[in-house]
Amino acid sequence: MSNTFVHDKYEKSWVERLKNAPKEAFGNYERNWVLPPLMVKGEKVLDLASGNSIVGSYWAREYGADVTALDLSETALKDARARGVKTITGSVEDKLPFKAGIFDTVFWGDNIEHVLAPASILKEIYRVLKKGGRVILSTPNQSYWRYRLHMFIYGELPRTEGDVNDPWEWEHIRFFSPKIIKKLLEFTNFSQTKFIGVSRRRIDMIGKHVSPELFGMIMVVEGKKL
């Protein structure tokens, strides 16, 4: 699959998304419900693979953060600029166009499952973070109890995208559990400091107080630069 094909497909998806939901709000996605306690006032933040920077624009507006959004889609970034966020067009899988040690936090939301070389990207995130800086990332939790049950019954990975399609057409190419994410962070010299399991299902909202690793359909993980 060529980079041009991937870019064109991604760009088209953003054109359709913004046409169908032009006023997307921060609270529409349950993952975002757990993010405000992780947001620090006045930080310099990179919203990586930002899309239209729903999270970054909220962080800037509500917490006075200095946010830069980087994404491949110019359509998404145009919407991010309309939300008041500085933008740079680029791919998360290329060397990041920033000097070392300039960001307090890098937010990398729901993208690690789409990339070929997650460890290389985390090393770049490490490079652009200040000493003691944080990466906050989110991704589907393959250890979620319903996904485990699906695998047990059907003998195949469950679909975690919103569209119904065959496994070979999935946009997700990496599948993470809490244990794998923790090992990956440690491999790239981050110390995992927070793990939050997220789900809007009622049974999960009760269960995740006992085991967020089992009842969180989505993982939000914070790692600190050592």
8-state DSSP, 29: S
Q: In terms of Cα–Cα distance, which of 11, 85, 6 is closest to 44?
A: 85
Backbone angles phi, psi at 201, to 5 degrees: -70, 140
pTM: 0.94
Mind listing the domains of the chain with CATH numbers?
A: 3-140+172-203+217-225 (3.40.50.150)
**Alpha carbons 39 and 45: distance in angstroms, whole number:** 10
pLDDT 10s per residue in the chain (226 long)?
446 777 888 899 899 989 887 788 999 999 999 999 999 999 999 999 999 999 999 999 999 999 999 999 999 999 999 999 999 999 999 999 999 999 999 999 999 999 999 999 999 999 999 999 999 999 999 999 999 999 999 998 888 876 778 888 888 999 999 999 999 999 999 999 999 999 999 999 999 999 999 999 999 999 999 9
Question: What is the total residue count of the chain?
Answer: 226
Burial class of residue 185 in the structure, from the number of CB atoms within 10 Å of its CB (0-12 exposed, 13-18 middle, 19+ buried): buried
**DSSP string for 5-16:** HHHHHHHHHHHH
DSSP 139: E
